[in-house]
């Protein structure tokens, strides 16, 4: 069954471009579009899409408010936020409101399909620039605090952590390591159990503090 997608944004040209991109994917279907927040919420309740791609820079009822409402509905929708902003406080607020993905508009046509596939699978997707900004904040301790490091990690588990912290999705990691996506996901769950880590943010923080990855300027 194809992924049902709702496009939300006040710029018609952006929606048209993204719709054209997604229409080329046989496993994705744009089931609705909205130019404003209130209509987006009404359509989401009516159409029950799997993923909403939201321009969070909308005027009026902005994308952050729409994200919060859609991800807290009785039928929650996965949200991929699209924005021009690289402000740390803005990105963290969008994620805190429930977005599962964050993609810059300038790279939306390159990242959107992967972002949708990733969040549909229950994972977080951050474009590389966004991931680097958040990693900087983890280093400074601005966003999420603390982790409990327990258990011994194998070399393969440490390599998986490194690639996750660098923003690589499970599909890419599986290709690099020559294993299935299910194996990568199982490894990630095992790592989090060993380290008593509950979310992706803490996993990145662990990778930084253990020297498994670095931040590009």
pLDDT < 50 stretches in the chain: 142-151, 215-217
- Residues 167 and 49: their CA atoms lie apart, in Å, by 25
Q: What is the pLDDT of residue 186?
A: 86
Q: Which residues does residue 78 pair with via DSSP β-bridges, in sequence order?
A: 51
Q: Is the pTM of this model over 0.85?
A: no
Burial class (CB in 10 A: 0-12, 13-18, 19+), 89: exposed
Q: What is the pLDDT of residue 143?
A: 43
Residues 153, 194: contact at Cβ < 8 Å?
A: yes
Q: What is the pLDDT of residue 195?
A: 81
Distance from chain centroid for Cα 15: 19
Q: What is the pLDDT of residue 146?
A: 42
**Domains along the chain?**
3-126 (3.40.50.2300), 137-209 (1.10.10.10)
Q: What is the pLDDT of residue 140?
A: 55
Q: What is the pLDDT of residue 137?
A: 64
How many Cα atoms within 13 Å fall on the side-chain side of residue 39?
12
Q: How many CB atoms lie within 10 A of CB 20?
A: 11
């Amino acid at each position: 069954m194809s992924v049902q997608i709702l496009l939300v944004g006040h710029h018609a040209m952006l929606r048209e471009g993204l719709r054209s991109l997604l229409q080329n994917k046989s496993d994705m279907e744009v089931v609705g579009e909205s130019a404003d927040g209130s209509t987006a919420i009404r359509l989401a309740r009516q159409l029950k899409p799997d993923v909403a791609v939201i321009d969070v820079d909308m005027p009026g009822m902005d994308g952050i408010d729409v994200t919060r409402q859609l991800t807290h509905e009785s039928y929650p929708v996965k949200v991929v936020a699209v924005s021009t902003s690289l402000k740390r406080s803005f990105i963290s607020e969008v994620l805190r409101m429930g977005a599962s993905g964050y993609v810059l508009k300038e790279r939306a046509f390159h990242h959107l399909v992967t972002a949708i596939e990733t969040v549909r699978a229950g994972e977080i997707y951050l474009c590389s620039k966004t991931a680097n900004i958040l990693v900087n904040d983890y280093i400074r301790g601005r966003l999420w605090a603390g982790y409990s490091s327990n258990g011994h990690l194998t070399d393969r588990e440490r390599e998986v952590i490194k690639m996750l912290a660098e923003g690589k999705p499970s599909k890419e990691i599986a290709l690099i390591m020559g294993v299935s996506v299910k194996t990568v996901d199982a490894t990630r769950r095992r790592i989090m159990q060993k380290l008593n880590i509950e979310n992706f943010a803490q996993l990145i923080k662990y990778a930084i503090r253990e020297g498994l990855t670095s931040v590009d300027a």
